[in-house]
Amino acid sequence: MSERFVRVRGISKRYGGTVALRGVDLELRAGRPTLIVGANGSGKSTLLGILAGTIKPTTGTVEVGPDGGDLREEVGLLSHETLAYGDLTGKQNVAIAAEVMGLDPEEAWTDVAARFDLGSFALRPLRTNSRGQKQRIALARAMVHRPTVVLLDEPTTGLDAKGVERLLAVAEEEVQRGAVVVVVAHDVETWSRLSPRVARLDRGRLESFT
């Protein structure tokens, strides 16, 4: 089976007079995670949104390979927002995500509850949960369908040491499963054990990719 990849060519994004990305060329492959790093305002979250299909680039293309397909159906996205319903429980939010993906909600819940250590807090309305608990539920929603492209925007936010350790273990599992894993991160050292490639953005340009 050929290796999964996501390739961006000539990606630029302009918001009115503000240029968020400037001609980014990047190829992201399975086998090693990729960290996207850079100062605030360097275009990291914009690039992740374009990879997810939630932001349309001003110029450039995004290709998923080796056999094409609709990238949006293959992506699991954790953004800054939880993208969840505050008055529903964590379990109900996971069930909605599972149903959208054509999965059995109970089976999906059993899977992610174990992977992300979702306890009784996930049976309460989401708005009553702590920041870290909401983050774990958001991760569960994003990963419920075992996506082939995993996009995580500052995923350690709000997590305690145990939660970070579990997140790293799941990310490592996804890499070994053959998914393309891309993480926007400030805490590069946290991810070092996964031997990631690092794409550094500076004022919307790709400064380096090592």
Identify the pLDDT of residue 147.
Answer: 92
Identify the pLDDT of residue 65.
Answer: 84
3-state secondary structure of 46: helix
Q: In degrees rounded to 5, what are phi and psi of residue 11?
A: -75, 125
Q: In degrees rounded to 5, what are phi and psi of residue 21?
A: -135, 145
Question: Would you write out the chain's pLDDT as a tens digit for each of its 210 residues?
Answer: 568 899 999 999 999 999 999 999 999 999 999 999 999 999 999 999 999 989 999 999 998 888 766 666 689 999 877 778 999 999 999 999 999 999 999 999 999 999 999 999 999 999 999 999 999 999 999 999 999 999 999 999 888 999 899 899 999 999 999 999 999 998 899 999 999 999 999 999 999 999
Residue 197 CB neighbour total at 10 angstroms: 16
Return the structure tokens found at 83.
């993208």
Domains in the chain and their CATH numbers? 31-53+72-209 (3.40.50.300)
Identify the pLDDT of residue 69.
Answer: 63
Burial-class residue 164 by CB neighbours within 10 Å (0-12, 13-18, 19+): middle
3-state secondary structure of 142: helix
169/104 Cα distance (integer angstroms):
25
Identify the pLDDT of residue 23.
Answer: 97
Identify the pLDDT of residue 73.
Answer: 67
Return the structure tokens found at 154.
């500052």
Identify the pLDDT of residue 61.
Answer: 94
pTM of the model: 0.92
